[in-house]
Structures are given as structure tokens and as C-alpha cells.
């Protein structure tokens, strides 16, 4: 850092002396303080520009802090993550996530209770919150809401 500034200081001093001599020869009667401030400012700005342009090549290497789910090798997990990402990034709420939760609910109801969502007692087992999600219009769900509905389905 020290070696980089000495040439700039020497160049600024040389520029000041040069301008002082030139303006005196032209009989412009230069103000030494203002000329010194102008040369110092120009030298500093030029130094900053040179430093900014001399930064070397940009690095395009990205350090991944956590491994991607897509690299896990589990195709079902990759599909589910893609489904949730598509749901959260879509412009309008789509029915795909709701339908997948409905299929999961049907599987749990069949395995644990021997009924399906179409049966008469299914609404009582599902509860009003899950029934509203599965029968209502599609809506955008946050991560917390998705987690909440999955917890309800697991506890059936």
C-alpha cells in the first residue's frame, strides 16, 4: 500500500509545480492553495480510477454453502422440491401442490382409517382446516403453511 501512494504523491507534486510554472509564465497569477487543492483532488480521483480498473479478472466461481437437494440422488425429493418451488414462484396459485397434498391425504386415510376423502366420515377425520384446503380453490401457501398441512396429514 505504501509503495503505491509514493509515485502518486510525487506525480501530484510534479503536476502542481508544472501548473504553477505554466500559469505564472502565462501571467495568470494562480492562487497556490486552490491550485494545490485542485491537483490533489485530481490526483486522488485518478488514483481511485486506476485502482478500480486494475482489480484483475472477476471470479466466476461460486462457493456453495449448502449442497443442493437436486444433487441428493433421490428423484422423489427432487420432484417435491421442484413442485414447491414452482408453486411459490408462479404468478397465480396453481392446483398442483393442493392436488399432491390431496393424494397424500387419500393414502394416509386408506392406510390408517380404511376410508377415502369421498366417504361420509372423512370430513370429521380431516378436520375443517385440511378439508377447506383440499376442497377450496387453489391458493398460494407459504413454507409454514405447507409444513402445517403436512403435520396435520401425518397426524391423521
Q: Looking at the predicted structure, is the pLDDT value of residue 14 above 90?
A: yes
Categorize the per-residue pLDDT at 126 as very low, low, confident or very high, splitting at 50, 70 and 90: confident
Residue with cell 510525487: 10
Tell me: the pLDDT tens digits for 22-41?
A: 988 888 888 999 999 999 99
- Answer whether 81's CB lies under 8 Å from 71's CB: no
Which residues fall within 8 angstroms of residue 108, CB to CB, at 6 or more apart? Answer: 153, 154, 156
How far apart are the two ends of the chain, measured CA to CA in Å? 67
Share of residues in the chain with pLDDT > 90 (%):
16
In the chain, domain spans: 2-53, 71-154
pTM of the predicted protein model: 0.53
Q: In angstroms, rounded to a whole number, what is the distance separating the alpha carbons of residues 156 and 109?
A: 7
DSSP code string of the chain: -HHHHHHHHHHHHHHHHHHHHHHHHTT----HHHHHHHHHHHHHHHHHHHHHHTS-PPP-----SS--GGGS--HHHHHHHHHHHHHHH-SS--SHHHHHHHHHHHHHHHHHHS--TTSTTHHHHHHHHHHHHHHS------HHHHHHHHHHHHT-
Q: Cβ–Cβ contacts within 10 Å for residue 23, how many? A: 14
Give the range among 54-63, 77-86, 107-116, 119-128 with minimum mean pLDDT: 54-63
Q: Looking at the predicted structure, is the pLDDT value of residue 72 above 80?
A: no
Amino acid at each position: 500500500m505504501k509503495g503505491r501512494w509514493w509515485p502518486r504523491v510525487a506525480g501530484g507534486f510534479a503536476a502542481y509545480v508544472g501548473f504553477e510554472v505554466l500559469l505564472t509564465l502565462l501571467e495568470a497569477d494562480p492562487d497556490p492553495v486552490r491550485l494545490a487543492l485542485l491537483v490533489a483532488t485530481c490526483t486522488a480521483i485518478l488514483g481511485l480510477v486506476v485502482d478500480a480498473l486494475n482489480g484483475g479478472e472477476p471470479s466466476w466461481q461460486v462457493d456453495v454453502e449448502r449442497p443442493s437437494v437436486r444433487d441428493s440422488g433421490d428423484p422423489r425429493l427432487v420432484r417435491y422440491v421442484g413442485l414447491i418451488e414452482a408453486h411459490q414462484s408462479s404468478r397465480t396459485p396453481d392446483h398442483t401442490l393442493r392436488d399432491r397434498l390431496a393424494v397424500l391425504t387419500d393414502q394416509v386415510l386408506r392406510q390408517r382409517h380404511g376410508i377415502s376423502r369421498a366417504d361420509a366420515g372423512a370430513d370429521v377425520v380431516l378436520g375443517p382446516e385440511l378439508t377447506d384446503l383440499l376442497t377450496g380453490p387453489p391458493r398460494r401457501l407459504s413454507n409454514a403453511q405447507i409444513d402445517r398441512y403436512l403435520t396435520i396429514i401425518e397426524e391423521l
